[in-house]
Structure 1
Amino acid sequence: MTQLIDYVLTRGVAQVEKEADLRRLLLEGNNGEPLRIKLGVDPTHYDLTIGHAVVFRKLRQFQQLGHKPVVVIGDWTARLGDPSGRVEARKPLTEEQVNANAATYLDQFFRIVDREKTEVRRQSEWFDSFSLGDAIKLLGYKTVAQMLERDDFSKRYKSGIEIYLAEFMYPLLQGYDSVALRADVELGGTDQTFNLLVGRELQPTFGQKSQQILTVNLIVGLDGVKKMGKSLDNYIAITAPANDMYGKLMSLPDHAMRTYFEALTDVSTEELNEFERKIQEGTLNPRDVKRRMAREIVTEFHTLSEAQEAEEAFIRQFSERKLPTDIPSYTVSEPTNIVALMVTAGLAASNNKARELIKQGGVSIFLQGESGEATRITDGEFIVPVAPGAILKVGKRQYLRLTA
């Protein structure tokens, strides 16, 4: 048990507030009751990235120790918008948008955490009955000076960028969630540290013990530099097909592999150290380590057989320079502009994105199918002919077989 607790409190962990206290709780128990491990999620989008899965996996580890995950759907805070890491105010969402996003969030969340052993709550259970007096009382627990100690608020204030009073409410609302749920521990990414501490500070004023806090390291996106995020288009969706997920993971810069291994796999630290030693000695190719990383992570979100098939497809396509065997088909009835075709077929999000891909040299066509050579498309006015069997390639991994 001591070894398991060491693993949970150190693997991919950035910081544990009062680690000795949390370790003692995990070892000695909580008066015979499982600890209530809180995680708040704001359904601000319809899909999640494997970056979100980092903290989900940590929650699962606590669950495997026998403790109770309590997931809070932020149906109030999502309407305010989390100011964490933001240089400007986030656009508020409607109640309808939040509810629609929440449904898909939970579906993806329960791919990782055991649904039957998880308590799911919504902020509206307590905030719908909040009065103006309750809100003013909550605001009274923090000063403006304390709020401006927060790094993102401080930077915006010094830069003359507006900070709305509603944004000050966000950490207080999230903190009050811990009071409403009587949380023993709260998890989050390093960007959530301030919010988690507010909950810890609020609980004693309501006659409760202060929650313990554990933050996990955030993973960088596929660019290897910035935090993974949908707005930066450097992410992998939890729902991405196995082949797409594997291919994107193989594009990750070598220096980020260790973080991905630690955050998204259970490969032992000893083995990771051995990988690094052999790479430095020149006896192990980083490409082979990255294949192991990609296979392990794809298995986390799919199955081992799907991960192995994705690896085989990747090797066949990139190492042996062969086209994939499972290219989806798309029907064209008349000669079509390449930009329009890319957008309607879902290969580009917009006309501008399609033109940008063409300008970057990322679009080509195999007019004779597998037996022919690729012709790079360099003009956004290019007309795709009705050529049954032709294959359109966009970027490194997207293919489309044209049928009449």
Structure 2
Amino acid sequence: MKFKPVEEQLAYLKKGVAEIIPEAELKAKLDNSLKTGKPLRAYLGVDPTAPDLHLGHTVVLRKLKHFQDLGHTAVFLIGDFSAMIGDPTGVSETRPPLTREQVDANAKTYLAQVYKILDKEKTEVRYNSEWLSKMSAEDVVRLCSHYRLARMLEREDFHSRLDKGQPISVHELLYPLLTAMDAVKLQSDVELGATEQKFNLLVHREIQREYGLSGQAILTMPILIGLDGQRKMSKSLGNYVGITEPPSEMFGKMMSIPDELMWSYYELLTDRAPKEIAALKQEVAAGKLHPMDAKMRLAEEVISGFHGQAAARRAAENFQRVFRDRQAPTEMKEIQLTRGEGFLKHPDGIISTLTPKWSQLLAYLRQMESVAEAARLIEQGGFEIDGQIVKDPAAKLDATGPASHDVRLGKKKFLRISVE
């Protein structure tokens, strides 16, 4: 196979990278690949601990795609065995092990999401249960003999827990050693991971050498900061953008990030060259481009990669209409009410009047947690009917005849309530 010149490949691969260990070795591997025509084996291992991926997960996936774009072999490893152990990285206490059923259910959804980034036809997919579940007690003991306990306890996560008198389970010590067998069995030339995974990746490289391999190069990628602008993107922290969320929801979330954060998003989530990003940043600094317009470009570009250009454009137009032009969106959730003799039928039950208070109706339709919460929202001016703010919590819907109302709840929620 014909590859691009080494310097050109290296420049492409270095975009957004936190660290290459060691860069000279990666360069040598690329040079050898160019001479022999043999692609490098670059791999990313992911434990399926949750069913959905968010943008934070895609940072490293995109780097694997870069290797694939250059003609190298992209190996996506699903850690179906290691997920039942639990990676101790970045946690202050032992993770509860997942069951085989939980892991299998999560793994099923991973590939469909991963193929939104990687080329399905060119991706080698492996599961580490292929070899880890077959290891004998003798194999495990031999593996453990290749690494010192003192070095394992030097890692920051363990060191911190020892200082605080918090327990460390033996299976957690085994995690980086067992996952090192992934690198051995895959005979990888390069492994990718987030910066917080550096200790594990270095163990993998060392164990490869212990098993007679040359030792992989390592590329670490920065952690993507979440929507709050402070902590890493995480579903548990609620500061995430899921890649399977509807385009309009993704767009709204991305528009909420602090202005300064969008430049790292441009670098880590798009294929724009560093020069292009620097030029955009300069335009914003000079007042030639409004930060919101730059952010809208970013959101549309990212979303088009997961939902297509047409869906991303519609999401952008919807955001413009609702949040900048202060108009109702063209598409919104619709709830139909059917009139009866003195009552209204809705999807979840019956309301025994044709003129319910809006505060009651919103609670009945499960659009607000309670009647009291709905009344508070109305009093605070967060409720609109057909573009008109209504502040009277006693205001009623007149459903004595056919009607249709566009309703806004707060800043972002829109409903169309139709009466038949």
In 2: Cα distance, 1:373 partner to 1:109 partner: 44
| Counterpart in the other structure of 1:17 | 21
Closer, same or farther: CA 95–287 of 1 in aligned 2, 3 Å: same
* Greater alpha carbon shift after TM alignment, 21-30 vs 125-134: 21-30
| Counterpart in the other structure of 2:140 | 135
In 2: Cα distance, 1:167 partner to 1:392 partner: 52
RMSD: 2.8
Closer, same or farther: CA 365–67 of 1 in aligned 2, 3 Å: same
- 1:230-284 deviations in Å (ceiling 9; x for gaps): 1101000011111111111111101111110011111221122122223333333
- Equivalent residue of 1:292, what SS? helix
Query: Is 2:388 the counterpart of 1:372?
Result: yes
Q: How many residues align?
A: 390
Q: Is the 1:279–1:285 contact (alpha carbons within 8 Å) kept by the matching residues of 2?
A: yes
2:316 partner letter: E
Matches within 5 A, 1:336-375: 341-342=365-366, 364-366=382-384, 368=385, 370-375=386-391
* Greater alpha carbon shift after TM alignment, 154-163 vs 198-207: 154-163
Matches within 5 A, 1:160-179: 160-179=165-184
Query: Is 2:135 the counterpart of 1:119?
Result: no
- 1:101-139 deviations in Å (ceiling 9; x for gaps): 101001100111011111111111111211122222222
Query: Is 2:384 the counterpart of 1:397?
Result: no
1:11 partner letter: K
In 2: Cα distance, 1:90 partner to 1:383 partner: 51
In 2: Cα distance, 1:330 partner to 1:206 partner: 63
Q: Is the 2:180–2:207 contact (alpha carbons within 8 Å) kept by the matching residues of 1?
A: yes
In 1: Cα distance, 2:165 partner to 2:364 partner: 42
Q: How far apart are residue 302 of structure 1 and its match? A: 1.8
Closer, same or farther: CA 330–156 of 1 in aligned 2, 3 Å: farther
In 2: Cα distance, 1:321 partner to 1:89 partner: 49
2:181 partner letter: Y
Q: How far apart are residue 383 of structure 1 and its match? A: 11
- Equivalent residue of 1:334, what SS? strand
Q: Is the 1:176–1:199 contact (alpha carbons within 8 Å) kept by the matching residues of 2?
A: yes
| Counterpart in the other structure of 1:334 | 350
TM-score (norm 1): 0.88
* Bigger radius of gyration: 2
- 1:311-347 deviations in Å (ceiling 9; x for gaps): 11101001111111111123534346756744xx6x8
One of 155, 168, 176 as aligned partner of 1:150:
155
2:167 partner letter: E
Q: How far apart are residue 99 of structure 1 and its match? A: 0.7
Residue ranges of structure 1 left out of the alignment (5+ in a row): none
Q: Is the 1:8–1:62 contact (alpha carbons within 8 Å) kept by the matching residues of 2?
A: no
In 2: Cα distance, 1:80 partner to 1:362 partner: 49
- Equivalent residue of 2:193, what SS? strand
In 2: Cα distance, 1:131 partner to 1:340 partner: 59
Closer, same or farther: CA 355–8 of 1 in aligned 2, 3 Å: farther
1:402 partner letter: I
Q: How far apart are residue 41 of structure 1 and its match? A: 0.9
In 2: Cα distance, 1:55 partner to 1:184 partner: 16
- 1:178-210 deviations in Å (ceiling 9; x for gaps): 011111110111111111111100011111110
- Equivalent residue of 2:278, what SS? helix
Q: How far apart are residue 294 of structure 1 and its match? A: 1.2
| Counterpart in the other structure of 2:354 | none
Matches within 5 A, 1:2-401: 2=5, 4-29=8-33, 31-331=36-336, 332=346, 333-335=349-351, 341-342=365-366, 364-366=382-384, 368=385, 370-375=386-391, 389-391=404-406, 393=408, 396-401=411-416
| Counterpart in the other structure of 2:339 | none
* Greater alpha carbon shift after TM alignment, 391-400 vs 139-148: 391-400
Q: Is the 2:65–2:118 contact (alpha carbons within 8 Å) kept by the matching residues of 1?
A: yes
